Structure 1
Amino acid sequence: MIDTSDWRARLRQFFAIDDLWERVPSRGYLRRDAVLALVIWVVCALGLELVRSVGGFDHDAVHVPWWQAQLAVATAALPLVVRRRYPLSIAVYLSAHMFATGMLAPFVMIQFPMQVLYFFGLFGGMAWARSRSAAVTTLGFIVVFMFGWLTFQFALGAGAEGLDASKQYGLLPPILSNVTYSILVNIFYFGAAVLGGHLTWRNARQRAELAAQAQTLAAQSEQLREHAVTAERLRIARELHDVVAHHVAVMGIQAGAARKILSRDPSAAAGALQQVEQSSRDAVGEMRALLGTLRGRAEPGSRGPEPGLGELPALLDEVRAAGLPVRYAAHDDLGVGAASVPPAVGLSLYRTVQEALANIRRHSTANAASVVLRLAHGAKGDYAEVEILDDGRARPGTGGSGLGLLGMRERVTLHGGEVEAGPRAVGGYRVRVRLPIKGVHG
C-alpha cells in the first residue's frame, strides 16, 4: 500500500499550510491597482476590437455583438482594482465569469485578452490570500471545477467539432490529439497560475523574514552600542574615582599633618605641603593620560602608558611617604615577572591596591598595612592576585559612598575573577582580588 502521509506532508510544507504569516500590501496599493486595472482594461478592450475588426466575430459559427464582448472585458478587468484586498473573492468571481462567458460566448472567452484577465485573477488569489489553507482550498476547488467542466465539454463532443475523424494526419487520431492538447494547455494554464502565485507569495515571505532579521540585527547593534557606551562610562568612572581618590587621600593626610605641625616644625610642614603639591601634579598627570586615551591621542604632558603591576613599588613608596607604613611581598610561582601580566589585568590589580590603600587612609584607624602580589597556578588556570591587609577598624563618621568597592567589583567581573572584601576575624580589614591570566609562561 502506498503511504500517502509523506506526500501529504510535503504538499503541506510546500504550500505553507500551517504558516500564519499574512502578506500585507504596501501603502497606496489601491491607487496603483486602480491604474493597473484601467490599463489592462484598455489593452484587452483594444485586443478584442482588433479581433472583431478582422472579422473574428462575424462568420457562420460566431455571432457576438461588439458590446457584449466589451462588456465581458470590462466586467472582468475592473474588479482587479480590489484584487489584493479581496484576492480569493476576485479569483472565485473571475472563475465564475470565465464559466459564464464560456457558456454564453465561448469564442469571446477563449480570446487571449480574456485569458490574460482570468489568469491574473487566479494568480493574484494565490499570491495575496491571507490564509494559505484557504488559498489552496479555494484554488483547488476552482481547478477541479474547471477540469470537470472541460471533461463535460469533451463528453458532449466539443473536442470533435470541425474535425474529420476518418482522417489521421499524424501519430494520433485528430480527436484524441485535440483532447490531449486541450488538457495539456489547461494543465499549464492553471498550474502556472497556482504555482506562480504561490512562489510569488513565498518570495514575499522570504523578503519579510530578511527585513525582520535586518531589524533585529539593527536593534541588537543598537543595544550593543548602548552597552559599549555604558561600559565605557563605567570604566571612565572607575578610573577617575581611583585616580582622584588616591591622590586626594594623600593630599588630605599631608595637609592635615602640615596644619598640626606648622607652628612647631615649619620645615616638616613644608615637606608635607610639598607632598601635597606632588600628589596634585600626579593626579593631574594621570587624568591627562586618561583623557588622552579617551580622545585616542596623547595629551601634552601625559604620563604615557597606564600603570600596571610594575608600578606597585612606586605607589607603595608614595603611600609610605604619606605616613602609612606598608609592607610589600611578591610571590612569582610562574617565574614570569610582573611585567608579563596582561596590561588590562595589571591595571585592574594596580587600581585595586590603590583604592584599598586610599580607603585605609580615609576610613581606617590602621597604623600599618601589607600588600601581597601572587602569580601562581590554580585549579582554574594561571592567575594574578593581590591581597591588602590592615590592622585597624572603621573610623566613626568617615563612611564612603561605596563607589570604590563597586568599581573594584566591576573590574573583577569584567575579567571573570574573584573578589573578597570585608573585616577579618582577627581584626583589621582584608581585600583580595584574583584575576585569571592567559598566555603567560615562564
Structure 2
Amino acid sequence: MPSARRSLSTSVGDFFAIDDDWERPTAPISRRDWVVGVGLSLVAVLLLELGRSVTEIQAGGQPHWVQWAATVSGAMLMVWRRQHPILVGCLAAAHMFIVGVTMPMIMGQLALQAVYFVAIYAAVAYARHRRSALLVVAGITVFMLLWVGWQLALGGGIAEITEDARADGADGWFSPTVGAVATMLAINLVYFVGAILVGQIAWRGARQRARLEDQASTITAQAEDLKRRAVVDERLRIARELHDVVGHHVAVIGIQAGAARRVLDKRPAEAAKALGQIEESSRDAVSQMRSLLGTLRDIEATAELDGLTDDAAATSRSPEPTLADLADLVAERDAAGMHTAYHVVENRQGAHTSVAPSIGLTLYRIAQEALANITRHSTATTTDVFTRVIDANGSGQAYAEIEVLDNGRPRSGTSGSGLGQLGMRERAASHKGTVDIGPRPMGGYRVRVRIPLGENDV
C-alpha cells in the first residue's frame, strides 16, 4: 500500500528541525571573531570611500564620521554572531532599517549587505533553539519585505522608476511599475530566504557532525570496555587453569606420599618409585604454574592489541592439553594408586581428536578437576572416565561429552569451597554446555558435561 503523502507543513518542519532538541555548542569569542569584525570594518570603510571617489553618495546630509560610524557599527556585529546569534540578527535588522531610512545609499553598500546576510544566516545556523530562531528570522524577513513594499508604494520609488524607464525608452513585456515592483521583491526575497536556507543547511551539517562524533566516542568507549572485559575474562580463565593444575598435582602428590609412607620400611623400591612420581608431578606443576603466571604478567601488554584472543594469548604459553591428552591424565591417576579406567565412545574412529582445541581444553580441565575432587573429598576406590564424541551425521545433534563416575561417598571433614564445581559450570557455560553434577542413586558420584558441536568445533 503506498505511503500517504506528507503535507507541506510537515516537510518544512522536518527540514527546519522544529522539534529537534539538539543544541549547537557555543564557542567562546576568539581572536578570529575580532579579526573578522575589525577586518570587515576596515574593508567596509575602504569600499565606502572608493565608491565616494567614483560617484556622489547621498547620505541625508550626514557628515562622513556618521557614515563611518554606521558602517563600522554594522560590521562589528560579526564579532558576536556565533555567541549571540538571535540578538545579532535582531540588531542587524534594526541597523538595516535605521540606516536605510536615514542613509539609504550607505545601507546599500556591498559590505553592509554582506553583514546583514551573514547576520540572518548566523541567527539560523548558530541559534540553540530552532523554533525561536526561525520565528525571529521569519519575522525579520516579513518586516523587511513590507518595508520594501512601503518604500515603493509611498516613498516615491515607483514614480522615479517609471520616469527613468520612459526617459530610457524601455519597451519590455511589462509596464515599468510591474517590472520594478516584481524585480525588487524577487531580489529581496532571494536575499533573505537564501540566508535562512543556507543557515539551516549549515546547522544540519553541524548536527550531523556532532552525531558522528558521539557515535565515534561511543564506539571507542565500547571498544575500551571490550578490551577490559577481555582482560578480566582472560584472568578468570587463568585462575581456573591455576586452580585445576594445582588441585590435580597436589592430589596426585598426596596419593603418592601416602603410598610411599606405607611401604617405606617394607618395600623401599616401591617407596622410591612413589617418591620419583612425586618429584615428576611437582616439577610438572611448577612448570605449568610458571607458564600461567607468566601469561598473567603479560596480560596487560597483550590487551593493548586489537582484541585479546585465545590464539594471541597462547603464544606466551605452552601447548594446552586437549581430549587426546585425557588418556595420559587417567593413566597418571591410575599409576598413583587410584583404580581409574578410561573409555572412549565415538561414532567414528578418532572423532575425539578432531574436537576444537578450546572445547577439548574445557572438557580436559573439567575431568582433571573431577578427578582431583575425588582424591580430596571421596572414599572412592575406582573411577571411570568416559569421553563421548558424536559428529554431526544427520541423525541428531553433534556433541562432545565427558563423564566421571566413582563408587565412593563424601569423606567427612573434607568439604571444599565449591570453587571447583563453580569453575566446571563456568567452563561449560562458556560453550553453552549442560552440566550434571551430584550423587548417583545407586551410590557414588557423577560429573557429566555435554557441549554441543557446531561446524567449526570439529
Superposition TM-score, scaled by structure 1 size: 0.90
1:60-99 paired onto structure 2 within 5 Å:
63-99=61-97
**CA positional deviation for 1:377:** 6.9
Count of residue pairs brought into register by the alignment:
433
Preserved contact between residue 52 and residue 66 of structure 1 (Cα < 8 Å): no
CA distance in 1, matches of 2:324, 2:5: 76
CA distance in 1, matches of 2:450, 2:257: 34
**CA positional deviation for 1:361:** 0.5
Q: Deviations over 1:171-210 (max 9, x none)?
A: 4443333322222221221122111111111111111101
CA distance in 2, matches of 1:203, 1:406: 54
CA distance in 2, matches of 1:176, 1:197: 31
1:356-371 paired onto structure 2 within 5 Å:
356-371=370-385
Segment drifting more, 419-428 vs 244-253: 419-428
- 1:102 is aligned, of 100, 103, 106, to 100
Q: Label 1:62 to 1:294 Cα distance change in 2 as closer, same or farther (>3 A).
A: closer
Segment drifting more, 240-249 vs 16-25: 240-249
Q: Which amino acid aligns with 2:12?
A: L
Q: Which residue of 2 aligns with 1:159?
A: 158
CA distance in 1, matches of 2:236, 2:313: 16
Q: Does 1:393 align with 2:409?
A: yes
CA distance in 2, matches of 1:221, 1:98: 54
Q: Which amino acid aligns with 1:413?
A: A
Preserved contact between residue 341 and residue 440 of structure 1 (Cα < 8 Å): no
Q: Which residue of 2 aligns with 1:180?
A: 182
Q: Which amino acid aligns with 2:194?
A: A
**CA positional deviation for 1:388:** 0.9
Q: Which residue of 2 aligns with 1:431?
A: 447
- 2:208 is aligned, of 206, 209, 231, to 206
**CA positional deviation for 1:125:** 0.6
Segment drifting more, 254-263 vs 350-359: 254-263
Q: State the SS of the aligned residue for 1:433.
A: strand
Q: Deviations over 1:370-412 (max 9, x none)?
A: 1122223799821011111112222223233333222222211
CA distance in 2, matches of 1:5, 1:376: 60
Q: State the SS of the aligned residue for 1:29.
A: coil
Gaps in structure 2 of 5+ consecutive residues: 296-310
Q: Which residue of 2 aligns with 1:197?
A: 199
Preserved contact between residue 83 and residue 125 of structure 1 (Cα < 8 Å): yes
Q: Which residue of 1 aligns with 2:15?
A: 14
Q: Does 1:376 align with 2:377?
A: no
Preserved contact between residue 57 and residue 63 of structure 1 (Cα < 8 Å): no
CA distance in 1, matches of 2:158, 2:61: 20
Segment drifting more, 169-178 vs 239-248: 169-178
1:101-180 paired onto structure 2 within 5 Å:
101-156=99-154, 157-164=156-163, 165-166=165-166, 167-180=169-182
CA distance in 1, matches of 2:340, 2:254: 18
Q: State the SS of the aligned residue for 2:7.
A: helix
Q: Deviations over 1:35-82 (max 9, x none)?
A: 322222222122222222334326xx9644212211211322223332
- 1:338 is aligned, of 332, 335, 352, to 352
**CA positional deviation for 1:296:** 5.4
Q: Label 1:63 to 1:54 Cα distance change in 2 as closer, same or farther (>3 A).
A: farther
Preserved contact between residue 308 and residue 343 of structure 1 (Cα < 8 Å): yes
CA distance in 1, matches of 2:98, 2:457: 89
Q: Deviations over 1:135-179 (max 9, x none)?
A: 111111111111111122222241342543543244444333332
Q: Does 1:244 align with 2:246?
A: yes
Q: Which residue of 2 aligns with 1:254?
A: 256
**CA positional deviation for 1:95:** 0.5
CA distance in 2, matches of 1:360, 1:5: 74
Segment drifting more, 7-16 vs 431-440: 431-440
Q: Which amino acid aligns with 2:25?
A: V
Q: State the SS of the aligned residue for 1:422.
A: strand
CA distance in 1, matches of 2:228, 2:175: 78
**CA positional deviation for 1:335:** 5.5
Q: Which residue of 1 aligns with 2:33?
A: 33
Q: State the SS of the aligned residue for 1:307.
A: coil
Q: Which amino acid aligns with 2:135?
A: T
Q: Which residue of 2 aligns with 1:281?
A: 283
Q: Which amino acid aligns with 2:95?
A: H
Preserved contact between residue 57 and residue 64 of structure 1 (Cα < 8 Å): no
Q: State the SS of the aligned residue for 1:434.
A: strand
Q: Does 1:419 align with 2:435?
A: yes
Q: State the SS of the aligned residue for 1:21.
A: coil
Q: Deviations over 1:285-308 (max 9, x none)?
A: 544665588765477xx5xx3221
Q: Which residue of 2 aligns with 1:56?
A: 56
Q: Which amino acid aligns with 1:45?
A: V
CA distance in 1, matches of 2:222, 2:456: 35
Q: State the SS of the aligned residue for 1:57.
A: coil
CA distance in 2, matches of 1:9, 1:344: 57
Q: Which residue of 2 aligns with 1:323?
A: 337
Q: Which amino acid aligns with 2:277?
A: Q
Preserved contact between residue 240 and residue 287 of structure 1 (Cα < 8 Å): yes
1:302-321 paired onto structure 2 within 5 Å:
305-321=319-335
Q: State the SS of the aligned residue for 1:161.
A: helix
Q: Deviations over 1:304-361 (max 9, x none)?
A: x322111222111100111111232222135652112111111111111111001100
Among all aligned residue pairs of Structure 1 and Structure 2, give the percentage whose two residues are the same amino acid: 46
Q: Which amino acid aligns with 1:398?
A: T
Q: Which residue of 1 aligns with 2:298?
A: none
**CA positional deviation for 1:439:** 2.5
CA distance in 2, matches of 1:4, 1:316: 75
Q: State the SS of the aligned residue for 1:430.
A: strand
CA distance in 1, matches of 2:223, 2:204: 28
Q: Which amino acid aligns with 1:281?
A: R
Q: State the SS of the aligned residue for 1:395.
A: coil
**CA positional deviation for 1:117:** 1.4
